[in-house]
Amino acid sequence: MDLPIQEQVVYEHPVALLDVSTHYCPGCTHGVAHRLVAEVIDEMNLQSKTIGVASVGCSGFIYNYFDVDFVVAAHGRAPAMATGIKRCLPDRFVFTYQGDGDLASIGMAEIVHAATRGENISVIFMNNANYGMTGGQMAPTTLPGQKTTSSQTGRDVEQQGFPIRVSEMLAKLDGASYVVRRSLHDPKNIRQAKKAIRIAFETQLRGLGFSMVELLSVCPTNWNLTPVDSMKWLEDHMVPYYPLGDYKVHPAVAEMRI
Amino acid sequence: MARQLMKGNEAVAEAAVRAGLHAYFGYPITPQTELLEYLSRRMPELGRAFVQAESEVAAINMVYGAACTGSRVMTSSSSPGFSLMMEGVSYMAATEIPVVMINVMRGGPGLGNISPSQADYNQSVHGGGHGDYRQIVLTPGSVQESVDLTVLAFDLAEKYRINTVILSDGSIGQMMEPCELPEMQPLRGVSTEPWAITATMGQREHRMLSSIYLKVSDEEKTNIRILNRWRQIEANEVRFKEYYLDDADFAIIGFGSAGRVALTAVRQARAEGIKVGLLRPITVAPFPVQQVAELSKRVQGILVTEMNGGQMLDDVLRIVKGNCPVEFFARLGGVVPFPDEILSEIHRIAKGPLSVDVDPRSAWLDRMAAIVN
Amino acid sequence: MPPKGRIEVKEIICKGCGLCVDACPQHVIILAEDRINAKGYHPAELSLDGCTGCGICAIICPEAAITVYRQVAPAKENQ
């Protein structure tokens, strides 16, 4: 007699992520990052105490996808808004989710000072080397020579300067506790990104101060590449310029046991 | 409670603390800096939040975040700093959250100077930030009034979920006067307001606060809701003070410091037997429209006096509609008028002749040529 | 014998980006060429036997559209 087949669920949709279709383009790694954040929120049982701060850019509509409280900041100001929330409600879990135009250009002052104050918030920083929402213009993170809709013959560093390596820069600040760069271009790196998000969130939960995970991401639509080719382009061009690694791990963070 | 001698800025800071201020975010700028300095000591002493932000832009966005939690929050600045805050001001108005802001005005435009001015009237009363919004604007004329209006500002902001500005100036902020402070109110716990962002705590559905309405029909509804709420505020919250107006032949209209200087001049004129009175708006938004309209029907002339180029004058002219002649006198750019100057204006007006056909700003500029050159 | 698995793709939210197709170590996922979902995309589906339930497709999926199952050996006492 055949026994009924028994199955275990290897992977299912995280609870903190709403079961809805996103507005992101096919293959966009915002979806991957959202999922990782939701998985970590589930694992740490943070959903009921989480307040997210959305920024301006493609991820500005992140509040539609999470089953947690959200506010939407002005362009670049998410770390300031998160500071206001966290100072009023210190026992809540507060994270910002920002793109590279938002964080590394218009919001540079806010992110630097949130980090140097050791503000007890967590930042998910999506670096896809262009302004996605407005149609693929040059961002502070656009690579030298990279063609965008506002650097149409390629970013000319003579005229437009060099990209900013945000993680390396913030790591220099005494107030920052956990600053790392990961990539979302393949399953192995995605797994490592999730571990980093977990450490970042634990850093806040234990009151250890500012944490940021920079995630190298793709923008297939504006890069004019297929999703699969985008992942390859990220690996071949972005990873060499933006090396993956741990740029700041405060000893107290390093000692954490998760 | 006993009266004590306090500097305007510090009195406002302590009044806010006693009104249950949960968090303060600011940036140093003269002439409001004592407010920030005072709270940098006082707030941590009480276990409350104080952050000296990296800029006024950051400060107002910290306020934005904090206000979204339903906590009593405040910022303060002076004119150029307020210009930087306009981003957050517009966003907060659109998000419909209660916020208190203190503008200790100084001479402008631009970097200007650190002397008293009233040149941010239009910025506060008629916008400043982008989009269609209104905010309550309170104008103190003394240290005691600054204290009282600070407490009122929190109540009004929360009652209507609206930005509330205390439009003070370098003179009121820096002067020392005896004042009576309010009783200390207990700090409230986590907000239970049905809109506040406090995390669900497993007790309710998740919420969102933002200023974005992608559907234009939703944005239109929001604008209409804001305007309807403003009608309510206009009906219920107009505040002003009247001095010697009952039998007045002439009326002066002036707010804040200018109103205070004008009162001294009015008293001197009364001692001389000139029947002149003063209307001092406390709320310049909502503006005492009805009072000005009625006044214009029973006096022989109105003198508007301000420390700016006639920003309130334009509002008064719109209300008076030619019912009576309107004259204007101002010192500006950080210059404060002396009571004697306003008394001379009273003499001039009392002597006449006055005409509704004269452009009061233009006539004033002609007279100013002799004063400034 | 390698473990047996299967995936369920929530077709309505799949955008046919093909990242799972590329990432699948067993090469058993395809985009269904014979149909489109409500958004106009060819959704991903299992095409062949051989899924091990490794979950790599779910890890790369930007839509969280994939649920992964793996067979487990029946408990001893039931045999």
For the record, the structure tokens of C9 come out as 């793709």
> How close is the nearest chain B Cα to the Cα of A110, in Å?
6
pLDDT per residue as tens, chain B (373 positions): 689 999 999 999 999 999 999 999 999 999 999 999 999 999 999 999 999 999 999 999 999 999 999 999 999 999 999 999 999 999 999 999 999 999 999 999 999 999 999 999 999 999 999 999 999 999 999 999 999 999 999 999 999 999 999 999 999 999 999 999 999 999 999 999 999 999 999 999 999 999 999 899 999 999 999 999 999 999 999 999 999 999 999 999 999 999 999 999 999 999 999 999 999 999 999 999 999 999 999 999 999 999 999 999 999 999 999 999 999 999 999 999 999 999 999 999 999 999 999 999 999 999 999 988 7
Sort out which chain C residues have CB atoms less than 8 A from A35's CB and list them: 61-62, 64
Q: What's the pLDDT band for C75 if we cut at 50, 70, 90?
A: low
Mean pLDDT of chain C: 92
Say whether both B188 and B252 belong to one domain: no
Contact criterion met (CB < 8 Å) for B197 and A109: no
Contact criterion met (CB < 8 Å) for C63 and A226: no
Domain count, chain C: 1
pLDDT computed for residue A22 by the predictor? 95
Domain count, chain B: 2
Q: What value of ipTM does the predicted structure carry?
A: 0.96
Decide: A117 and A80 in contact? Cβ < 8 Å: no
Tell me, what CATH number does C30's domain have?
Answer: 3.30.70.20
For the record, the structure tokens of B362 come out as 């233009």
pLDDT computed for residue B1 by the predictor? 63
Say whether both B21 and B131 belong to one domain: yes
Chains that touch C (3 or more CB pairs under 8 A): A
Whether residue C77 is contained in a domain is answered as no
> How close is the nearest chain A Cα to the Cα of C42, in Å?
11
Q: What's the pLDDT band for C79 if we cut at 50, 70, 90?
A: very low
Whether residue C47 is contained in a domain is answered as yes
Weakly modelled stretches of chain A, pLDDT under 70 = 1-4
User: Given the structure tokens 């061009």, which residue do they identify?
Assistant: A237
> How close is the nearest chain C Cα to the Cα of A191, in Å?
8
Tell me, what CATH number does B322's domain have?
Answer: 3.40.50.920
Whether residue C13 is contained in a domain is answered as yes
Range of the domain at C41: 5-72
For residue C77, pLDDT beyond 70: no
> How close is the nearest chain B Cα to the Cα of A86, in Å?
8
Whether residue C79 is contained in a domain is answered as no
Tell me, what CATH number does B141's domain have?
Answer: 3.40.50.970
User: Given the structure tokens 């839509």, which residue do they identify?
Assistant: C63
Inspect the structure and tell me whether chains B and C have 3 or more CB pairs less than 8 Å apart.
no
Task: From A247, A245, A232, A255, select the one nearest A115 (Cα to Cα).
Answer: A247
Residue A163 CA to residue B92 CA, distance in Å, equals 33
Residue B32 CA to residue B36 CA, distance in Å, equals 7
Chains that touch A (3 or more CB pairs under 8 A): B, C
For the record, the structure tokens of A35 come out as 């999922």
pLDDT computed for residue C48 by the predictor? 85
Choose which CATH entry (3.40.50.970, 3.40.50.300, 3.40.50.460, 3.90.1530.10) describes domain A30-254.
3.40.50.970
Given CB atoms, is A20 within the 8 Å cutoff of chain C? yes
User: Given the structure tokens 């540079």, which residue do they identify?
Assistant: A108
Name the residue ranges covered by the structural domains of chain A: 30-254
Q: Give whole-number Cα distances, A225 to A27, A126, A221, A229, A232, in Å.
A: 10, 19, 7, 6, 10
Whether residue C68 is contained in a domain is answered as yes
Contact criterion met (CB < 8 Å) for A6 and C72: yes
Distance of CA B39 to the CA centre of its chain: 21
Residue B313 CA to residue B297 CA, distance in Å, equals 17
Q: Which helix (H) or strand (E) holds B251?
A: strand B250-253
Cross-chain CB nearest to A48 (options B61, B87, B200): B200
Say whether both B230 and B293 belong to one domain: no
Taking each helix axis from N to C terminus, what angle separates A108-116 and B56-68, rounded to the nearest 10 degrees?
A: 70
Say whether both B282 and B224 belong to one domain: no
Whether residue C78 is contained in a domain is answered as no
Say whether both B123 and B188 belong to one domain: yes
> How close is the nearest chain A Cα to the Cα of B195, in Å?
11
Say whether both B224 and B158 belong to one domain: yes
- Exposure class string for A209-236: b at 16+ Cβ within 10 A, else e: bbbbbbbbbbbbbbbebbbbebbebbbe
Contact criterion met (CB < 8 Å) for C74 and A227: no
Residue A175 CA to residue A118 CA, distance in Å, equals 4
Please write the tens of the pLDDT for every residue from C5-61. 999 999 999 999 999 999 999 999 999 999 999 999 999 999 988 999 999 999 999
Inspect the structure and tell me whether chains A and B have 3 or more CB pairs less than 8 Å apart.
yes
Task: From B349, B209, B55, select the one nearest A110 (Cα to Cα).
Answer: B55
Contact criterion met (CB < 8 Å) for A77 and B64: yes
Residue B64 CA to residue B83 CA, distance in Å, equals 16
Give residue ranges of A with CB < 8 Å to any B CB.
47-51, 53-54, 60, 63, 66-74, 77, 80-85, 87-89, 92-93, 109-110, 112-113, 117
Percentages of chain B per state (helix, strand, coil), in multiples of 5: 45, 20, 35
Range of the domain at B50: 3-236
